[in-house]
Structure 1
Amino acid sequence: MARPVNVLVTGGNAGIGYFTAEQLAEAGASVVLGSRSQTKADAAADAIRARVPGAVVRHLPLDLADLPSLKSSADGLDPLDAVVFNAGIADAEPEILFATNHLGHFALAYWLAPLLTSARIITVGSFAARSERLDLDDLQSLEERDTKRAYGRSELAQMSFGFELDRRLRAAHSKAMSVVVHPGGALDSLTPSRPGVHTRPASTRIAGLLLHGKDSGARPAVHAVLDPAVEGGQLWGPRQFGLRGKPHLEQPHAHMTDEQTAKKLWDKSCELTGLDLGEVLGL
C-alpha cells in the first residue's frame, strides 16, 4: 500500500486487543486504540512504542456502553482500512454484557459507515459462543440472568452479526468485507508481560499444553486484517482444537451462521439502538 494500513482496535489498551494492536504496529500499520481510559491507552501506546520504535499509534476515546457518545468518537477518525471489533466485558449484569459486547459495536458500525467503504471489518467472538443459542425474545438475558450464559450469548450475537454483515455486503456488491475470528483459550497466565499493561502471573504446565496466551489469541484477528487471501464471511481461529496454535480457517457451527436468526437479530439490534445500519451502509 502507498500508506500504512489504518486500523481501529476497540479495547486496544488491554488483553487480546492490546496484542492485536502491538502485532499490527509491528507489521507497519497505523493503529488507533479505542478505549474509555486515556491513562490506560497511553500506557498501551508507550508499551507498543517500546517494542516497535517509530510505531504510529494513538488513542480514540471510546465507550461502547454509552451509545450516544459513539458518533463523536467516530467523528475523530480518518478513513479506515480495517476495524477490529474486539472490546468486550465478561463479568457484568446480563443487559450490560449484551449492550457493550454487541449493541455497542453494532452502533459503532453505524457511525463508522462512511469510513468503511472498502475496509475489512473484523469481529472477535469467543469459544463460549459454541455452546450457546440466542433467545430472540430475551436477547439481554433479563429473565434467566445467568452471567456466564449471557456472556456467551453476547459473543454469539457478535459472531452472528459479523456473518450477516458480510452476506449483506456481498449482496450490495460492496468493496468492504466482514470476517469473524476468535482467540481460542487465551489465558493471562500464559501471556507475556508488558510494562504498564500486563504482568504475567504464575503459570501452569498443563494449561500451556491445552491453551495459549493472549498474544497468541490475537493472531487470528491480525491475520484477518493483513492476509490478502482472507475472504469475507470466513471464520478464523487457532489451529489446535480451536483452542491454541497458529490461525487457521474454521468451519463455523450452523447456529452461528443461521440466516433467519441473524436477520431477526439485525432487526432487533436496529430497534434497540435506534439506528438503521443497513440503510447507512446501503444494504
Structure 2
Amino acid sequence: MPSVPLPWNVHRPPRADGQVVLVTGGNAGIGYFIAEQLATTGATVVLGSRSPARAEAARAVIRDRVPGARVRTLQLDLADLPSLRTVPDALGSPRLDAVVLNAGVALDDPPRVETAAGHELMFGTNHLGHFALTGWLMPLLAAAPAARVVTIGSFAAKSEHLDLADPQSRRDYVPKRAYARSKLAQMHAGLELDRRLRAAGSTVASVLAHPGGALDSLTPARPPVHARTPGTALRGAPAAVLLQGKHAGAWPAVRAVLDPAVRGGQLWGPRVAGLRGRPRLEPRWRTLTDTAVAAHLWDLSRDLTGADPGTGPLRHPR
C-alpha cells in the first residue's frame, strides 16, 4: 500500500543541506524552477544543459534570488549518447542524491529529425538519452544513502500507447504523437527501473512526476531566463482557471526529490484534475500498467544505448 502523504508546504520545502541534485534541462522552463526551488533548501544543484551560456545565465538568476545558493553548471547533451559516459566524472562528486530527468525536445512540425546515432530526435533525447544517463550515474546514486531518480513525464502521455514495432516512428511520423510517446517511454522506463531496483535490494528509488498544464503566460518572470510582459500575463489570465505556470509545474518534482514519505514507483502530479495545484500522489495511469511493454522497452533501450540502469554498463551498444 502507498504511504500516506505528509503535509507539504510548496513554499518551504525541507532542508537538504549536503545533498547533490542534478537537474537535466535546469537552465529553462520547468527545469529552471525545479532548480531554483531546490536551491532554497541548501542542496547543491547542478544545472545540466547543452548550452553553457544559458546554464550560466540561469545560475546567475538563481544566485541572485536565493542568497547563498549552491549552484553549478554541467554541459550535457542527451542526444549525444557517447558523451554521457563522461558525466559522472564531470560532476566531481563522490555521490549523487537525486537526478531529475527533465530536459526534453518537442517538435511541432515535420520533417522527422534524427540524432547523430540515427535515433528519432525526441525518442533519442527524451527517452534514450535519459535512460543512458541514468545507467552511467547509477554508481554515484548507489553511493548516496537513499537516492532518487525522478522522471518528469507529461500529461500528453496519458492517452497514448507505445508502438513497439515502430518505437522511433520510422513508418508513421506525427510530431505531437512522437513527443507524447517519447514521454510515455520515459515514464514506463522509470517504473521498470523501480521494479528492478526493488528486486536487487537497492536503496535507490525511481519516482515519476508530471507538471500538469504549465504555461509560459502564467509563469513569473525570471529575466533573462524567462521574460513575461504585462500583455502576455493578461492574455494568459483566463487559462489560470484550469492551468498554471511553470513555477507551480515544478512542485511535484521537488516533492518527489525531497519528501521522506515518497516511495519508489509512485506518480506525483498537480492536485486539481492533474492539471494545476499543489502536488499529490496520483493513481497510476492506465497507459502505464502493462509491465510486459515496459520490460520489452527496457531491453530495446539497453541494446540501443549500451547502458543498463538496473545492472550497469554494457560494452557494445547497437
| TM-score bucket of the superposed structures, by smaller chain | over 0.9
Equivalent residue, structure 2, for 1:42: 56
Distance 1:38-1:271 versus aligned 2 partners, 3 A rule: same
* Structure 2 portions without partners, runs of 5+: 1-14, 114-119, 314-318
- Residue 4 of structure 1: how far off its partner (Å): 2.0
**Does the aligned pair in 1 maintain the 2:159–2:287 contact within 8 Å?**
no
Equivalent residue, structure 1, for 2:133: 108
Is 1:88 the equivalent of 2:104?
A: yes
Select which of 180, 193, 203 maps to 1:165: 193
Worse-superposed segment, 193-202 or 62-71 = 193-202
What pairs with 1:9-20 in structure 2 (closer than 5 Å)?
9-20=23-34
- Residue 277 of structure 1: how far off its partner (Å): 3.3
Distance 1:276-1:4 versus aligned 2 partners, 3 A rule: closer
Q: Aligned AA for 1:221?
A: A
- Residue 72 of structure 1: how far off its partner (Å): 1.3
Select which of 232, 244, 251 maps to 1:219: 251
Aligned to 1:200, what secondary structure does the other structure show?
A: coil
Q: Aligned AA for 2:219?
A: T
Equivalent residue, structure 1, for 2:116: none
Equivalent residue, structure 1, for 2:207: 179
Select which of 189, 196, 219 maps to 2:224: 196
RMSD of aligned alpha carbons: 1.6
Is 1:141 the equivalent of 2:165?
A: no
Q: Aligned AA for 2:62?
A: I
**Does the aligned pair in 2 maintain the 1:36–1:62 contact within 8 Å?**
yes
Distance 1:160-1:11 versus aligned 2 partners, 3 A rule: same
Aligned to 2:221, what secondary structure does the other structure show?
A: coil
Which structure has the larger Rg? 2
Q: Distance in 2 between matches of 1:102 and 1:74?
A: 19
**4+ residue runs over 4 A deviation:** none
Aligned residues: 282
**Does the aligned pair in 2 maintain the 1:235–1:251 contact within 8 Å?**
yes
Equivalent residue, structure 2, for 1:53: 67
**Does the aligned pair in 2 maintain the 1:212–1:244 contact within 8 Å?**
yes
Post-superposition Cα deviations, 1:217-248, rounded to whole Å, max 9, x if no partner, equal: 00000001111111110000000000000000
Equivalent residue, structure 2, for 1:257: 289
Q: Distance in 1 between matches of 2:23 and 2:140?
A: 14
Worse-superposed segment, 74-83 or 103-112 = 74-83
Q: Distance in 1 between matches of 2:303 and 2:139?
A: 21
Select which of 263, 267, 272 maps to 1:231: 263
Equivalent residue, structure 1, for 2:122: 97
Q: Distance in 2 between matches of 1:2 and 1:26?
A: 9
Post-superposition Cα deviations, 1:28-82, rounded to whole Å, max 9, x if no partner, equal: 1110000011100010000001110110000011000000101112211211111
Equivalent residue, structure 2, for 1:62: 76
Post-superposition Cα deviations, 1:231-280, rounded to whole Å, max 9, x if no partner, equal: 11000000000000000000011221311000000000011112233321
Distance 1:212-1:44 versus aligned 2 partners, 3 A rule: same
Aligned to 1:156, what secondary structure does the other structure show?
A: helix
- Residue 132 of structure 1: how far off its partner (Å): 0.5
Q: Distance in 2 between matches of 1:123 and 1:195?
A: 27
Aligned to 1:175, what secondary structure does the other structure show?
A: coil
Equivalent residue, structure 2, for 1:278: 310
- Residue 141 of structure 1: how far off its partner (Å): 1.2
* Structure 1 portions without partners, runs of 5+: none
Q: Aligned AA for 2:73?
A: H
